[in-house]
Amino acid sequence: MPHTNLTPSPWVQRWSLRLKPGASVLDVACGTGRHMQWFVQHGHSCTGIDRSEQALALAQASGRVVLADIEAGPWPLAGQQFDAIVVTNYLWRPLVPDILAALAPGGLLIYETFAAGHEAVGRPSRPEFLLQRGELLRLFASLRTLAYEDDFFEQPPRFVQRIAALQTP
């Protein structure tokens, strides 16, 4: 069953305000499109990519959708760039070079996912799906970091890392 929470992440909301009107946004592992919906409501064009056909059926109301298993197959957006890329609640480290290549010069990366420690409060709990301390900073060291958090949040209980960073032109 796909993730059905349609409330956009406060982190995404906060950093999306930096985008110029009409920016192109890629939502990686978009699920049902909660962030796509947010960006479209704020005047941006969206592309969402996910492996769940069921989730994309809902996401397509907010923009272009791409059905692809980005963990098992090739990156389907090779050669395309976006003014912003959003990734939430998803981690597949081999995808980092593709994300960086898809971020246009001056583009904004907004990334938020689970970190080590989360195994004590919920899923995901496998180490390969949890960021290690400072890992987002290392993975995206080529970008200019605007903000970074690595903390425990109580509502709902979760260990999270977040980064907002710019691709330098």
pLDDT digit string, tens, across residues 99-132: 999 999 999 999 999 776 565 556 765 777 777 8
Structure tokens belonging to residue 94: 């081999």
Average pLDDT of the chain is 89
Q: What is the pLDDT of residue 103?
A: 98
Strand 82-88, strand 64-67: pairing? unpaired
Q: Is the pTM of this model over 0.85?
A: yes
Sorted by sequence, the CB contacts under 8 Å of residue 82 that are 6+ apart come out as 24, 25, 26, 47, 102, 103, 104, 107
In terms of Cα–Cα distance, which of 146, 14, 23 is closest to 84?
Answer: 23
Rounded Cα distance, 30 and 80, in Å:
17
In terms of Cα–Cα distance, which of 161, 162, 157, 87 is closest to 122?
Answer: 157
pLDDT band at 165 (very low <50, low <70, confident <90, very high): very high
CA-CA-CA-CA dihedral for 62, 66, 67, 73, to nearest 10: -150
| pLDDT mean over 18-34 | 96
- What are the structural domains, with CATH classification, of the chain? 10-166 (3.40.50.150)
pLDDT digit string, tens, across residues 59-70: 999 999 999 999
Rounded Cα distance, 34 and 62, in Å:
9
Query: Bigger pLDDT: 127 or 78?
Result: 78
Answer whether residue 144 shows pLDDT above 60.
Answer: yes
